[in-house]
Amino acid sequence: MPELGRAALVLCLGLALFALVGGAYAAATRRRRLARSAQNALLAAFGAAAVASGVLLAALLRNDFSFVYVAEHTSLQLPTPYTISAFWGGQEGSLLLWLLVLTGFSAAAVAFARRTGPDLLAWVVPVLGLVTTFFAFMLVAVSSPFATQVAPADGAGLNPSLQNPYMMIHPPCLYLGYVGLTIPFAFAMGALLARRTDELWIVATRRWTLFAWTALGVGQLLGSHWAYVEVGWGGYYAWDPVENAALMPWLAATAFLHSVMIQEKRGMLKIWNMLLVILAFCLALFGTFLTRSGVISSIHSFTQSPLGSWFLGFICLITVGSAALLMSRLPLLRSRTRMESLVSREATFLYNNLLLVALCLTILWGVTFPILSEAVRGEQITVSAPYYNFFLRIFGIPLLLLMGIGPLVAWRRASLRSLGRSFAWPAGIALGAGIVLLLLGAGSSPIGLVAYTFSAFVLGSIGYEFARGTRARRALAGGSWLAAFAELVARNRRRYGGYIVHASIVLLAIGIVGSSAYDKVKEQKLSPGQTMAIGHYQLRYRELVKRNGPNATEWRALLDVRRGGHSLGTLSSGKNDYRAEQQVSNEVGIRTDHLTGEDLYVITDQINKDQSINFKVLVKPLVNLIWLSGFLFFAGSLVALWPSAAEQRRLAARYRELRALARA
């Protein structure tokens, strides 16, 4: 069967190459049948990739250890769900997943766009073919999942800390995001190649971008949650290069989502949008490259794997190629429209873009600085959390404020008077919240207080927008408040879906601020029977129990938790000693207060021979808002994504009547 897998991959490579070369030739010489043929090649490539994936999946489920990949990432005792997730658990399998998703998305994009813009599609196909060729080539020649060996008795198994539901969903979710960004990129490059200056590429890919962006966001939250509960150091984001690898394209995509609206409404910023989509895609590639080559730890470990060089070469090709293409089409894209006022919604979108891109680039600088400094000075200089947190505050807090200002400002121009009226309620709410928080002691962290106040402002402005929108709708069409509200959202999905997403980001911000600016940490060594106090909690270390689990010896410290005289139950925290893998993992004890969103987080740092334990206990206020925000984020994106029949009709009509005009 591995031969079938290899053959399928070679077939996929051939089809992708045909889509690239044939498609480019067809677009350049305007050959209809060849263009169609190239499209079909892209669709067929999906079939080939699917077959290859099927072969690998079957081998995994069969525990066929003659496949090197299966032997390296699974074992006989591994539960089936994790055997499946081992598909993307290693280098080669994850590349295959990339290819599968890429060809799948390409097929879907081609199928959807066939009708509206065959000439644009003619140029999109070779671009998609190029990216597919690269990944197929990697799988065929550099990093094949179908290498075989004499089957050993059992496989190496999966790293224990990867054996949890999060690690099943987190990578595929991120891939949907990374790969999803290929589609808007391909359409943008297609538009440039076809010398088109209209918005078809944006209209065709708007939902793709939103989808990819949502997947990246949710994927990152899942990863953070895994880090919080599994790795257990008390945090959820360590500014690790692999974490930043997903954050950077997400930030670029966020900027793109906003600036694209300016192009749609005002016809401005065409060049900026091109730059952003190129940046987002290149960062997605770069992120994929970062997580699989050791380049960040040392420039020398990077050269040990050939994959890294190929990836870097491809990223350079894409960056230079798309930049050159953009420059050659620059005269076409210049628009004559000027921004009328610095106080308008366009302007706030522009400021938001600048902040997002600035944050993205500072993170990029922080990630690449070690490599650059090593190349220049022979010595790696690394930056860590303080650097990133500094810039997160500098750019993030104004961004937070802008999220509240943007919705209140009208397009084109906002007079100060109408601004003043719009701001009154939200600003009042923010001021009130600020005073209350100050009285509650939030002044211990000035930055935290500012962030909270801004958050209140944003929530106030979003609530205000919903309120006056519902009121206007009701005044127009009557009905109950609820009906008016539903009608309002249904008729303006992008706007109100966007507001819901903004609300989720504010919740995220509140959760982050609460758990970092107002948290408490305490380290103490306790013998059985002793008590420690932190915040409002008292913890009594009752006893240490040992249990022999199926593949690990489990040590658990049992602690009785009390607060304000009431017992809050027992918390267990400890370590698992995995005998086979000779590895110890931290199993933290978390007690969530569902009313306040606060977590009591107990880490068993060191178990001593006399059963005394060095504990590290954290109280993290509002941290659960972070996870809650994920659901709201997803819901808001769903609302914004939901197709609107009226809009579809209008757009279809636009392109249909034009074709009729041309043909007439």
Partner 1 sequence: MARSGSPVRLVVALSVAAALAVFLVYVSVAGGTPSIQPSQLKGHTGDVALVGKVIGTPAGEGHAPQGLRFRLQDVSGGASVPVVYRGSVPDLFKVGREVRVEGRLQNGVFVAKQDSLRTKCPSKYTPKKKA
Partner 2 sequence: MTGLAIAIGGVLAAVCVLYVALPFLREPDPASDLLDEPGALERRALELAERRDRALGALKELEFDHRTGKVSDEDYRELVGPLRQRVAEALRALELRAESNEERVRAAG
Residues in the site for partner 1, rule: CB under 8 A?
Answer: 89-91, 94, 159, 161-162, 227, 231-233, 238, 240, 242-243, 291-292, 294, 297-298, 300-301, 305, 338-342, 347, 350-351, 354, 358, 362, 365, 369-370, 373, 379-384, 386-387, 390-391, 394, 525, 575, 582-586, 603, 605-606, 608, 614, 616
Cβ neighbour number for residue 136 with a 10 Å cutoff: 29
Distance in angstroms (rounded) separating the CA atoms of residues 391 and 121: 40
Residue 275, token pair as written in the block: 């730059």
Spatial distance between the Cα atoms of 236 and 627, rounded to a whole number of angstroms:
11
Q: Which does 572 bind (CB under 5 to 8 A by kind): partner 2, partner 1, none?
A: none
**Is residue 160 close enough to count as binding partner 2 by CB under 8 A?**
no
Tell whether the torsion through CA atoms of 321, 324, 328 and 330 is positive or negative: positive
| Pair 34, 24: CB distance under 8 Å | no
User: In this structure, what is the dihedral angle of CA atoms 235, 236, 241, 246, given to the nearest 10 degrees?
Assistant: -170
The least CB distance from residue 117 to partner 2, in Å, is 9
**Binds partner 2 (CB under 8 A): choice among 412, 520, 542, 563:** 412
Applying CB under 8 A, the site for partner 2 has a residue count of 65
What, of partner 1, partner 2, none, does residue 36 touch, CB below 5 to 8 Å by kind?
partner 2
Which residue, 225 or 412, has its beta carbon nearer to partner 2? 412
Binding status of residue 122 toward partner 2 by CB under 8 A: yes
- Of 623, 569, 626, 575, nearest to 599 (Cα)? 623
Comparison of 480 and 582: residue with beta carbon closer to partner 1 = 582
Sort 486 into a burial class: Cβ within 10 Å, 0-12 / 13-18 / 19+. middle
- Ramachandran region of residue 591, left (φ > 0), alpha (ψ -120 to 50) or beta? beta
The CA distance from 291 to 33, in Å, is 41
- C-beta of 5 vs 630, nearer to partner 2: 5
Three-state DSSP at 479 gives coil
> Among residues 242 and 635, whose Cβ is nearest to partner 1?
242
Binds partner 2 (CB under 8 A): choice among 25, 37, 326, 374 = 37
Look at residues 553, 535, 537, 534 and name the one whose alpha carbon lies nearest to residue 545: 553
CB 548 within 8 Å of CB 557? no
Among 147, 154, 198, 558, binds partner 2 (CB under 8 A): 198
In contact, 178 and 100? CB cutoff 8 Å = no
- Residues 397 and 336 sit within 8 Å (Cβ to Cβ): no
Report d(CA 338, CA 322) in Å as an integer. Answer: 26
335 CB-near residues (< 8 Å, 6+ apart): 267, 268, 269, 270
Cβ contact 224:626 at 8 Å? yes
Residue 48's binding partner, choosing from partner 2, partner 1, none, with beta-carbon cut-off 5 to 8 A by kind? partner 2
For partner 1, which is the closer residue by CB, 151 or 238?
238
- CB closer to partner 1, 177 vs 370: 370
Contacts of 117 by beta carbon, 8 Å cutoff, 6+ apart = 200, 204, 655
The two three-digit tokens of residue 103, written as one number:
């060809």
3-state secondary structure (DSSP) of residue 591: strand
Pattern 279-298, partner 2, x by CB under 8 A = --------------------
Q: Which is nearer to partner 2, 393 or 659 (CB)?
A: 659
- Report the alpha-carbon distance of residue 416 to residue 408 in Å, rounded: 12
The reply on whether position 33 binds partner 2 by CB under 8 A is yes
Nearer to partner 1, 319 or 380 (CB): 380
Least separation in angstroms between residue 379's CB and partner 1 is 5
Render 75-95 in DSSP notation, one character per residue.
Answer: -TTS-HHHHHHGGGTSHHHHH
Query: Cβ 358 to partner 1, closest distance in Å?
Result: 5
Token pair 């689990």: residue: 549
The entry of partner 2, partner 1, none that residue 108 binds, CB within 5 to 8 Å by partner kind: none
Q: In the complex with partner 2, which residue's Cβ is closer, 30 or 536?
A: 30
Q: Is 36 an interacting residue with respect to partner 2 (CB under 8 A)?
A: yes
C-beta of 238: minimal distance to partner 1 in Å?
5
Residues constituting the chain: 664
CB of 27 to partner 1, least distance (A): 34
Q: Are strands 613-620 and 537-548 parallel, antiparallel or unpaired?
A: unpaired
> Of these partners, partner 2, partner 1, none, which one is at the site of residue 635 (CB under 5 to 8 Å by kind)?
none
Nearest distance from C-beta of residue 588 to partner 2, angstroms: 47
Q: Establish if 645 lies at the interface with partner 2 (CB under 8 A).
A: no
CB of 1 to partner 2, least distance (A): 5
Please choose, out of 22-30, 247-255, 444-452, 598-606, the segment that lies near partner 2 by the rule CB under 8 A.
22-30
Task: Tell me if 656 contacts partner 2 by CB under 8 A.
Answer: no
Residue 47 or 160: the one with the smaller Cβ distance to partner 1 is: 160
Closest to partner 1 by CB, 393 vs 546, is 393
Using CB distances below 5 to 8 A depending on partner kind, what does residue 585 bind out of partner 2, partner 1, none? partner 1
Nearer to partner 1, 211 or 239 (CB): 239
Q: Given the rule CB under 8 A, which of 93-101, 215-223, 462-470, 565-573 is the region that contacts partner 2?
A: 462-470
Closest-CA residue to 293 (of 255, 342, 242): 242
Q: Is residue 308 a contact residue for partner 2 (CB under 8 A)? A: no
Residue among 440 and 661 whose Cβ is closer to partner 2: 661
Q: What type of residue is 623? A: V
Nearest residue to 455 via CA among 512, 495, 498: 512
List contacts with partner 2 (CB under 8 A): 1, 3-4, 7-8, 11, 15, 18, 26-27, 30-37, 40-41, 43-44, 47-48, 51, 118-119, 122, 194, 196-199, 264-267, 408-415, 417-418, 421-422, 465, 468-469, 471-472, 475-476, 492, 650, 654, 657-659, 661-662, 664
